Structure formats: C-alpha cells, structure tokens
Structure 1
Amino acid sequence: MRKLAALAALALAPLAARADEGMWTYNNFPSQKVEQAYGFRPSPEWLKHAQLSSARLAGGCSASFVSPDGLVMTNHHCAHSCIEQLSTGEKDFVKSGFYAKTLQDEVKCPEIEVNQLVEITDVTAEMNKATAGLEGQQYFEAQKGAMARLEKACQTSDALRCEVVTLYHGGVYNLYKYRRFQDVRLVFAPEFAIAFFGGDPDNFMFPRYDLDVSFIRVYDGGKPAQMKDYFKWSPAGVKEGDLTFVSGHPGGTSRQLTISELEYQRDVALPERLFSLSELRGQLTQYQKRGPEEARHSNATLFYVENGIKALKGRFEALTDKAFFQSKVKDEDALKAKLGQDPQKAKQFLPAFDAVARSQATLKEIRKPLRYIEQGGGFQGELFHHARALVRGGEERTKPNEKRLREFRESALPAVTQALFSTAPIYPEFEVFELTFSLTKLRENLGADDPFVKKVLGKKSPEELATELVKGTKLADPALRKHLWEGGKAAVDASKDPMIEFARFVDPDGRAIRKRYEDEVEAVQKKNDEIVARARFEIEGTSTYPDATFTLRLSYGSVKGYQENGKYVKPLTTIGGAFDRATGRDPFALPKSWLDAKPRLNLATSFDMATTNDIIGGNSGSPVIDRNGQIVGLIFDGNIQSLGGDYGFDPAVNRAVAVHSSALVEALDRIYGAGRIVKELKGQK
C-alpha cells in the first residue's frame, strides 16, 4: 500500500520526469539531468556507442553485444525457447544446461532474431502530412500506407529491418533502422534450476539469488559477425551508490493513457486476462502430470503463464487502488482545465478525450469476438498459427504493400518466414491440448448458440475437432510449409490439408471483426490519442519521455536499497547467500554443479543487485553499464513494488533487479569451466 500511496503522490506532481524516472529515447536523452544528479554527463559519442552495443531479441527481449565476434548476452528466460527447441527427451538442455566448448559446437536457434539499432530518423512531418484532415477508416488506411512506404524505402535488403515507431501516442514518429541477424547460435545456458532459482515464489521479489543468463552469437555469412561496437566487461563491477545505466527495449507502458483507457484496463481487460491465465495455469499443471516428456515440452509455456499472472496482478492492484486512480483522474482534469482556459485550445483538444472514451466503449462491446476469433484466443497452437500465416500470407502478398495487413508488409516478411520455416519441434499431444482448451474457451465466451461457434464446432466437441485437425494436418513439416509459402496463393488455395482448410474457413470472420476494430476502435483511438499527445506537448514538449514501445531506451539510476515493512533491504546479495537460501527442494534446489563447486567459489562475490533504474517488461536481458560504458550487470526482473510501474514510477521503492557482473564471471569460470567465454568477455586471446 505504501507503493500505491507513493504512486498517487507522484501522479499529482508536475508532469515532467522526476528523480531517476524515465525510459528515454537515445535521441532525447537528458544528459544534463544525469550530470546534475550524479556528476557525469554522457557525451554524444558515449550515447552512440551504447546504442550500437545494445541489441534486441525480436521476440520480446533485450540483449547486448559483448565481444567483437558477435557474442550476445541476454537472459536464460529470453533464450528459453531456443534452449527448449534444441532439447530432446534424451538431451534436455533446459534441465542440464548447455555449453559449446568450441565455436563449431555452437548450435543454431530455430527462431531467434537479433536486431541492432543503427539509425533513427524523425518522420513526423511525413506522417502528419499523410493523415492531415482524415478521420476513421481513411485516417487508418493513410497512416498504415505511409508507414509501409517509409519502411519499404528504408529496408533495402533482408539484412535490414525498418519500423515506423509511434512516440508520445502520435506526437512524434521516428523511423528505426535495424541491422537484422537471423543466424543466431546458442553458446551457453546454465541449468534452469539456477536460472530461475526460487521459482514463482521468488519471481518479482528481492533479495534474489539467480543466474538468469544465456549467451548466443550472431553470424553473418556463416561466420561470427564482426562488431565494431560492443560493451567491454567491467573489471570490478559496481557497489552500493554507484551510477548505473540500463540500455534496453521496454515493451510498453501506460503512463500517458487517458482515464477512459485506464478504466478499460482496470474494469475489463486486466480482470479477464487474469482469469483466463489462471484457468490455463491449472490446465497446464494437470497436463504436466501426464509424464516427464509432457512436462518438459510444456515448461516454457507454464513459466510464461505464471510470470504473466504475477505481472498483471501487480498492474491490476495499482489501478484498483482508489487513491492512485483518483490521482490519475486529477492529473487529467488539471490538463483539461489548462486547455479550457484558451477557447481555441479547448475546441481543438478537448473533444478528443470524449472520442477516445467512445472507442473504449466500442472495444468493450466487441472484445470477445475480437479476442477469440481474430487475436488467437480461440485457436491456440503452432499448427493453426502456421496455417493462418500461410492462408493470409498468400492473400496479402497479392496486394500492394501499403494495402496489406501490417504483419505482411514487405518489411515484416523476413520475420514471418523465419517463424514459418522454423525447424523447432511441434508436439502433437500438446497441440491437441492447446487447441482443445482454446476452442472450449471460444464456446464458453461467445456462447453455444453463437453462429460462429456453431459454424466452427458443428456437432463436434472441442476435443474431437482439435484431435481431428492436429492428427490430419501435415503442417508440422517445415518443408511443406516452405513449399506452400513459396507457391503463393495458388498453392495455398489448392491445399487440402485440414488445418489449412480450417484456417481458410474461419478467416472471413476474423477479417470482419478485425476491420470493425480497426475502423471503430483503433483508428479513432490512434487519431485522438495523437490529439491528446499534442495537447500535452503544449505544456510539456519533450521534457519528459514517451511511453515504452519495445524500442531502445536508456534509463539512469544507482545501486540502492529500499525500505520494506519497516526494514532496510540491502541492494546486493552474495553467492554465499544462495547456499544459505537453498533447501534442496524445488524451487530452492541448487544444481549439482553448484554444490560440487562450492569449495572453489568466493562466497562473498556479489550475486544479484537492485538499482533505481526505471524498467518494465521487455527490459529482460538488458545490460547494466557504468559511467565508463562497461558491463556491470544483466537485468532479469524487478521487485514486487515495480509491478505498478506500468502506470507510474516511485524512486523510493521501485527497483530493477540484475545479475551482478562479478557473479557471471565467477560462475562461468569456476562452476562451468567456460573459460572460452570468460576470455572473450575480458578481451583476452
């Protein structure tokens, strides 16, 4: 409750960023504020080097380049999909860990893509010109078309990835150009038992004793990619009070949403999502009891579900705190009052708040068919996902680039084909489980008498239909998927594969509800959020940072403890503390490698640390660097107080949680014998 009260106080303060708050874009970083607070001013050269040394995992995580030979550091849970996909019942790398002793032993990940941000261009004028004076569907189509044109002109080869990024909810548009790496190979991963030590009970908690790390390598032309910019390793790490920077890709925040948008999250979206995930967790837990192989290939899904429940619960508790929410209402009322003092501004800006509210009312009305028919809630599983990609990809690629669904624009196709041609194993039993569960939820939420439900199920039960589709399809074969993709619309239309036919059967319904959402919700919301953003610009300009958008941001802070329940929580733990915390029983069981290595370890070595850096989901895998631009840690979590950080930041108790750089080297060297990696990190031959 102290956390929520603090958030309430912060929301009532001036709108500009406070203290160590802020997920700043690299082209608007407040170097002067850092100098005032910590006596260090990052230079343009320092910032450019940090930008180019940072990396993004396109699937939703952050990372960093840590050697000139393309070595990349990220979290174990960020590379978990690769580790699991490379595992078998006989060689479970999730359980036992993985280490490539030589370069030749590094194994290609089926689906991971790594991006390096190389250029940021302001395209606000071009985007505003394209949408000037337009409303509704015309606005949406013009915006989508302008984005597609700018991205296509930028992306001159598949080695690049270009994205138009909406900042300040439409106040600014930037074009981000990335260098794209799709040949990514696994180098090192510890055992899951230490990568997620403490399990769900310790998730989003501190103190922590967790080695949540993986190393991968990017290749170019079959050889390790040569990187001019990369982060060097700090010889000493950091101690309490030291300045820290986190360079990563926060996924999304909602600190600048209108009250009607927050009300929709509080009253509709978050409760429904929490209930749904809780049901899925129960079903997954039962599925895992079928046998060790079932448990192995569903572990990642269960991990992400449990993580999602805890994260969303924190957001929900923040929005349901009356004092905090009322402070957000007062903040918006104050903004409206300032605008209302000028009749011209009142006419220009105030109607946008009502328009956004109407879009949220429409979203509430259509949310269930949108989620269960179009957004995948009713058709879970890799096989259906592949089938829909083939059906829609065949159709969309016959259209002009600017008229396509966004996920099939030219600049997005390399990511689509990487997933579609993936050699990752598909488990039929798990596919039946996922599709059965989602079809059951489809019927439950839309109703047994709903015409679409009747169309889909007919006289069959969800399990009967799921079993029939999964057992009948041949789409588990990546060669077939590649053949259909390359054959285009004609090949897909001619296919008699039951999963393809099913995806084709439900596609018109999905497109119809999507069109209504785009025309009546998304277009209205984007257009009027942009107007609200411009209203804020009248007051703030760019003195504050935009909401997170899974684009590269830099935050600053320090290694610092905090008060919790009347006690001081120290910001650093030690390796020795992990042995003290271990019980020998999951999830507090240390792996055998750690128990065997205990006599060799310096138990006083710093293990995990807490900092005041402002982060959110998506920052997982972000490097923590010092004023010299050297690696001092690896972000993997936040504390429980940080879960309300989607809506506000409290420097008193919000903490980012990272593995200390000293622990990383100690473990690699003295536990895993990974001297090859240690030498590479330290720049030794």
Structure 2
Amino acid sequence: MSFPQNRDTHGPGKDRFMKRLFVIATLLGAAPAMADEGMWTYNNFPSAKVKEKYGFEPSQQWLDNVRLSSARLAGGCSASFVSANGLVMTNHHCARGCIDQLSTAKKDYIANGFYAKAQGEETQCPAMEINQLVKITDVTETLNKATQGLTGKKYADTLKAKMSELEQACSAGNAKARCDVVTLYQGGQYNLYEYKRFQDVRLVMAPEHAIAFFGGDPDNFEFPRYDLDVTFLRVYEDGKPATTNNFFKWSDKGAQEGELTFISGHPGRTSRGLTIAELEFQRDVVLPKTLMTLSEMRGMLTEFGRRGAEQRRISTNLLFGVENSVKALKGRHEALLDKTFFAQKVAAEQDLRKKVEANPEMKKKYAAAWDEIAKAQAQLRNIRQDLTFMENGGGLSSTLFQVARTLVRGAEEFPKANGERLREFNQANVPALEAQLFSPAPVYPELEIARLTFSLTKMREELGSDHPFVKKVLGKESPEKLAARLVKGTKLRDVKARQALYKGGKAAIAASKDPMIQLAVALDPDMRAVRKSYEENVESVIRKNSELVAKSKFEIYGTNQYPDATFSLRLSYGAVKGYSENGKQVSPITQMAGTFEHATGEEPFALPKSWLKNEKALDGTTPMNFVSTNDIIGGNSGSPVINKDAEIVGIVFDGNIQSLGGEYGFDESVNRSVSVHSQAIIESLTKIYGATRLLEELRPGSTKVPPVKASPAK
C-alpha cells in the first residue's frame, strides 16, 4: 500500500507466498535480469531487450519525456505530471499526510473527501515537496579517485565531503534545485541526480478514504481489488500554477489485457544485492526487534483512538502507517526465515565467491570484502540498541523533540564548512530541511505525550534503567511525567518560535529555557558519539567493501544489470497479464460493478454515500483495477502506468501477495503490480464527483469516455 509496500503473511496468503520463494531464490544471484524483471535506471535502460520481447524500442527522446513527466513526493512516494498546468497525480495514501493535516474536527477530508471546484479553492499542503528529475550525471570516477586507498574514518569523511561538494556545486545556491548523490550497486556506481524542486503543493481532489482504501487490511495485497486510490495535487511557482512542458496525456482506452506497460516511479528499497551476513542480521536482529516495537505501538495507538472521536481522527494517520510497516516487515521476515529460500541465497553468494577465488587478480582485490562486511555486522550488533534509541529516534519519538534536535544541531552544524557538516545539514538539503522545520502542520499535544511516553518506556526497557543515557533523559521522573512536562512546557508548536531559534543560532539556543531545547542540548553529545561510532566503524566498512563486491560482480557478470532500489527514479516494463493461483486463473482486470458486489455495508467494506447514491449512473462494465508483470516495490505507490505512446493507462497502488518476495527477487509467473485503471478514474470523476474542471484539464475538449468492457475477475 504505502511506502514501503506491505502485506500480512498469515492465513492462506502465507502459503501462496512461501510456495514461490524457492523459485525467487534462483533469481537472486548477480546474473543479468530475466523476463520482465528489473527496476532500471534511465541511463541504463534495456530498450533493445524490450523490443526483442514486445516489439517496441523506447528511444532516447521517449525516455527523456517519460523521465521529465515523472515526479517524486520527497516524503516517500511516486507521482506524475498530467497537464501543462502543474497538475500532479498520485495515490490517496501517498497524499494522506497532506489531507490529514488540512482536516479539522469540522472538516474531515479523510472521511468526506475534497474537491476544489475553482482554482482559488486549491489548498496548500503544509509540508510537501515534489521533485522532477532533470539530469543524471555519473560521478563514480570522481568519488573513487577521491577515496582511493582510504579506509575507516578517513574514507567516511572524504566520501561525505566529496558528495557534499558535488551536491553544492550542482544546486549552486538555487533553492528550486535539489541535488543528491545516489549510491547504486552498493557503492559500485555513483550518480548525481539533479531535481527541480516544487515546495508549493496544493490539494486539488481526493476521494473519501472508504473508497481509496476499500477493503482495508483484509484486501491489502490481494487481487481482485476495487480501490480508487488516487489524488490530484498541483505544483505552484511564484504563486501561480507551474508550467509543465512535459506531462503524460490520457489514454482513450486505458490498460488492455496483453498490452505492454511501463511504470516510472521511485521504488524505495530492495535487498537483492546484500550479502548473507547483512541478510542474517536483518533476519535475526533487526526485523524481530522492530516488529515487536511496532506491534506494541499499534496497540498503544489503537487504545488512544478509543478515547474519543477526535483522538481517533488525529491518530488514524499514524496508526495507518504503523500497520503498514508491520505488514511489510512481517513479509520480509517470513521470506528470510524460509530455509529453502535462504539456502539458495547462500549458494548464490558462494558461487560468486568461488569465481573470485579462482582468479588470482580478483582474489587479491575482492576476496576479503565479504568477511569485512561480516565483521561490520558483528560490530553493528554491539551498538544497535544505542543507535536505535539514542540517535535514530527510537527513545524520543516526538515531532516536537525532533524539531528541537534539528534546531540544536543546525546551530552547531551551519557555521562549519559544508563538507564537514552532518549530511542532512549540507547546503543542498537546506530548503527541504527548512520546509519541514517551519511547516504549519498541526501538532496535537495529547498524541505527542502518548507517543513520547511510549518511546521513553521502550528506551528504558531495552537499554536498562542503569544505562547512562536513560539516566540522563529521565533523571528521577517517570516516562509519563517527563513526556507531559516537556510537551506542555515547550513553545515549539509555534512556528514563529522555531524561526526565532533558527535565526538566532548558537546564542539563541544557549539562552533558551524551552524544556525540549534544553533536553536536546543535553543529549546531543551522546547521540553524536554513537552516530560517529556507527559511521566510522560500521557504515564506512560496509560502503567500502560493498563497492568491492559490486565491482567483482561487474567483472564476472558484466554491467547489464539493474541496481537495488534507492528511492531514485526507475523504469520497469511488463504487460497486463493474469496469473494462476491455487489452480485457478486470475483475470487481470476487475469491473466497477464488482465494487458494489464486494461491499457489505460494514467497515472496511462500506462504500461512501456518494458511491451508493450514484451506483445506477455508473457503467458497471468500466474497468476498475488491474494487474501487470511490472517489477515494483514500496515507493512505487503513485507511479503512473503508461503505454508505448506514453499515455496514462493507470496508477500503481499495491502489489499482490505473491509480490512479497520483491524485496529479495522477482518471479514473473506470479509477481504482479496492482493499479487503478484510468477508465475508473474518469468514470468516477464524471458520474460520482462531478469534477468537470479536473476532467477538462485531464482530457481537453472532451469529458466523455468511450465504453470499455473488462472481463470479470475469476
């Protein structure tokens, strides 16, 4: 569903999922991609391979247009430009944060939806940034030359400084530019991605939550599906709708069975190239611990929501995210626990290492890399709890504390040379940092106290009451009393107070009596110390040696490979195609009539009143959702699905249950992306929401849609 894509693996779905893992495991080596597999970078897209299978070869001009028509929600999701006037399409669940922040007890846009009938009614999202990738530059040679022969702290510091230098030179002080050095192939390659940044993003249309997430958790990662998971935004420049020269036009017919499809989006993360030592650490330590904490947090938020209607409203978005994360991590953990699957992962790595050992020159350069990564994982085990609860926010889960820490660290970091700062404070990241820091998004004290109490309690439980950091945080207070005192005493809910501290720098921070600021000042040295230990003794070792592993793969298997997902723009190709499940064929396209047949009147299968009222007006044969063989992962949510003419035929919102193995591999026979059909969007906007202005912008000159019949799902 949301970033990252998630799915529960209990019940019959688990068996379906696990049955495919041994097949997926055979695809996890470093050999070139098979079938429709691959989340390809735009500067290494296999156009000839697409032509060989589907008869269409994307040209460079085609690729450039699709890249510029694609967009990224900086907070974690994909999107696309769909008009010349800055109109952006993404998922409802991707824009949910904005919709929730604009809602109040009297105007609940999550429950009731939102539509701006006129441009003046389009409402600015408090904290959203949209990026458009305008240029890709390979900077591998520059970074390798800068770090050649270096290890440990010297390697980490040099790499960080050089990345910051490249990013700063790229953005050149332009607040509308965002530049990121992207690590590909676990360090085998580095690309500099230059984005155009839009920070004035406004909500145009969002359906009700009940239809955007119809079927809720029971239907999540299932197919057939019947969701209208779509929302429209608009990017503005200088107070006016932005002019977007590159955008996707709307297909007349939408996705057709057997049709070639492309998905252009920003997959968040895959682990197909990690070593066995890294996967073992995830399987044995990270995933079990994280799942336990998230499950407990889910219980806390569920209880909080039962206190009253307003408590439920303000906590639902956070609960939604926690539940999604639980399901995602459950799926990953199940994959790594499967013995046959993991044994074949081990075999693939051993085969690669044998090839390296057999070549004296390669052995000298690369053979020790896997053992060095394993040693770094052992070191990470020793500091994991401190890193989690001290530096990574596990012990102080609070929006207001994170604001305080950003202000405290900013005052310390900004006077330094750009290359010496912590990465998040380098000059290229300042516009995004300031947008988040000064966001007028509401912060709810009661929810803040509940979250902070929970995380402080977990910190004391995991680190122990005698841990020096725990003593420094809590003193003689209980988690409950400390959380209440901090939240009630801070002034950081006021954006003007944040701005004054930010502008005042070190002097303002030192003089502040705000309890959140004072706590952040007191804790920052300890937090920095554990981060420093991680960066110098773990991260730098893994980076350096992963680079060597990647180079060994290049020498053995060549460069015709795709890198693991990194929340950078990728293009996948496939076709609208059903699959076999439990001996039965699943048709690839569902119909709108099935939505009403699937409804029960009770959550999560209760349709909005607008849908029930207009059921008879709808053409029930209109395609609703569909599946395709495109390779995707979490972060692809909101990606446009396009045909060979670069026209919108749908929008990705999920994957089927068999796609859970997408974290570690791809099996074309059953892995499917799940998308909203473009015809369902038009039919809904026309006959349910009366969104004439929006329809005219999507399809200039016509709001009529040719009838398209879909085969009912079996």
TM-score over 0.5 (shorter chain):
yes
Deviations 1:178-221 (A, max 9, x none): 00000000000000101111111111111111011110000011
1:564 is displaced (CA, Å) by 1.4
* 1:50 partner amino acid: V
Find the counterpart in structure 1 of residue 80 from structure 2.
64
- Is 1:384 aligned to 2:401, yes or no? yes
- Is 1:374 aligned to 2:371, yes or no? no
Q: Answer yes or no: is the 8 Å Cα contact 2:225–2:625 preserved in 1.
A: yes
Q: Which moved more, 1:541-550 or 1:243-252?
A: 541-550
The equivalent position to 2:36 in structure 1, one of 7, 13, 20, is 20
Please, what TM-score do these two structures have when normalized by structure 2?
0.95
1:7 is displaced (CA, Å) by 1.1
1:392 is displaced (CA, Å) by 0.4
| Structure 2 CA distance for aligned equivalents of residues 504 and 434 of structure 1 | 21
Q: Percent identity?
A: 60
1:44 is displaced (CA, Å) by 0.6
Find the counterpart in structure 2 of residue 148 from structure 1.
164
- Is 1:255 aligned to 2:294, yes or no? no
Find the counterpart in structure 2 of residue 578 from structure 1.
595
* 2:148 partner amino acid: A
Find the counterpart in structure 1 of residue 532 from structure 2.
515
* 1:115 partner amino acid: N
Find the counterpart in structure 1 of residue 511 from structure 2.
494
Find the counterpart in structure 2 of residue 589 from structure 1.
606
1:371 is displaced (CA, Å) by 0.4
Q: Answer yes or no: is the 8 Å Cα contact 2:641–2:652 preserved in 1.
A: yes
Find the counterpart in structure 2 of residue 244 from structure 1.
261
1:148 is displaced (CA, Å) by 0.3
Find the counterpart in structure 1 of residue 27 from structure 2.
10
- Is 1:412 aligned to 2:429, yes or no? yes
Q: Which moved more, 1:540-549 or 1:151-160?
A: 540-549
Deviations 1:43-74 (A, max 9, x none): 11100000000000000000000000000000
Q: Secondary structure of the equivalent of 2:26?
A: helix
- Is 1:635 aligned to 2:652, yes or no? yes
Q: Secondary structure of the equivalent of 1:27?
A: coil
Q: Answer yes or no: is the 8 Å Cα contact 1:199–1:588 preserved in 2.
A: yes
Map 1:18-417 to 2 at 5 A: 18-156=34-172, 157-417=174-434
1:8 is displaced (CA, Å) by 2.5
Deviations 1:90-129 (A, max 9, x none): 0000110000000000000011100000000111111011
Deviations 1:557-601 (A, max 9, x none): 011111112221111111100100000000000000000010110
Q: Secondary structure of the equivalent of 2:51?
A: helix
Q: Secondary structure of the equivalent of 2:182?
A: strand
Q: Answer yes or no: is the 8 Å Cα contact 1:185–1:217 preserved in 2.
A: yes
| Structure 1 CA distance for aligned equivalents of residues 227 and 289 of structure 2 | 32
Q: Which moved more, 1:442-451 or 1:139-148?
A: 442-451
| Structure 2 CA distance for aligned equivalents of residues 316 and 482 of structure 1 | 43
1:486 is displaced (CA, Å) by 1.6
| Structure 2 CA distance for aligned equivalents of residues 389 and 215 of structure 1 | 31
Q: Secondary structure of the equivalent of 2:197?
A: strand
The equivalent position to 2:621 in structure 1, one of 604, 611, 616, is 604
| Structure 2 CA distance for aligned equivalents of residues 631 and 400 of structure 1 | 46
* 1:185 partner amino acid: R
Deviations 1:502-544 (A, max 9, x none): 1111111100000000011000000000011111111123211
Q: Secondary structure of the equivalent of 2:665?
A: coil
Q: Secondary structure of the equivalent of 2:27?
A: helix
* 1:512 partner amino acid: A
- Is 1:485 aligned to 2:502, yes or no? yes
The equivalent position to 2:679 in structure 1, one of 655, 662, 673, is 662
Find the counterpart in structure 1 of residue 709 from structure 2.
none
- In the alignment, structure 2 segments of 5+ residues that lack a partner are 1-17, 703-714
1:494 is displaced (CA, Å) by 1.5
1:165 is displaced (CA, Å) by 0.6
1:247 is displaced (CA, Å) by 0.0
* 2:144 partner amino acid: N
Deviations 1:414-436 (A, max 9, x none): 11100111011110000000000
1:10 is displaced (CA, Å) by 2.7
| Structure 2 CA distance for aligned equivalents of residues 31 and 620 of structure 1 | 24
Q: Answer yes or no: is the 8 Å Cα contact 1:384–1:499 preserved in 2.
A: yes
| Structure 1 CA distance for aligned equivalents of residues 290 and 576 of structure 2 | 34
* 2:278 partner amino acid: E
Find the counterpart in structure 1 of residue 567 from structure 2.
550
1:167 is displaced (CA, Å) by 0.7
- In the alignment, structure 1 segments of 5+ residues that lack a partner are none
Find the counterpart in structure 1 of residue 711 from structure 2.
none
1:483 is displaced (CA, Å) by 1.4
1:138 is displaced (CA, Å) by 0.4
Q: Secondary structure of the equivalent of 2:559?
A: coil
Find the counterpart in structure 1 of residue 643 from structure 2.
626
Q: Secondary structure of the equivalent of 2:553?
A: helix
1:170 is displaced (CA, Å) by 1.1
* 1:539 partner amino acid: I
When the two chains are superposed, the root-mean-square deviation of aligned CA atoms in Å is 0.9
The equivalent position to 2:690 in structure 1, one of 648, 673, 682, is 673
Q: Answer yes or no: is the 8 Å Cα contact 1:314–1:640 preserved in 2.
A: no
Q: Answer yes or no: is the 8 Å Cα contact 2:161–2:419 preserved in 1.
A: yes
Q: Answer yes or no: is the 8 Å Cα contact 2:28–2:272 preserved in 1.
A: no
Q: Answer yes or no: is the 8 Å Cα contact 1:55–1:248 preserved in 2.
A: yes
Q: Answer yes or no: is the 8 Å Cα contact 2:270–2:664 preserved in 1.
A: yes
Deviations 1:383-410 (A, max 9, x none): 0010001000111001100000000000
1:9 is displaced (CA, Å) by 3.1
1:684 is displaced (CA, Å) by 3.2
Q: Answer yes or no: is the 8 Å Cα contact 1:575–1:606 preserved in 2.
A: yes
| Structure 2 CA distance for aligned equivalents of residues 683 and 29 of structure 1 | 32
Q: Answer yes or no: is the 8 Å Cα contact 2:164–2:419 preserved in 1.
A: yes
Q: Answer yes or no: is the 8 Å Cα contact 1:203–1:307 preserved in 2.
A: no
1:657 is displaced (CA, Å) by 0.6
Please, what TM-score do these two structures have when normalized by structure 1?
0.99
| Structure 2 CA distance for aligned equivalents of residues 515 and 264 of structure 1 | 21
* 1:331 partner amino acid: A
| Structure 2 CA distance for aligned equivalents of residues 416 and 335 of structure 1 | 42
* 1:351 partner amino acid: A
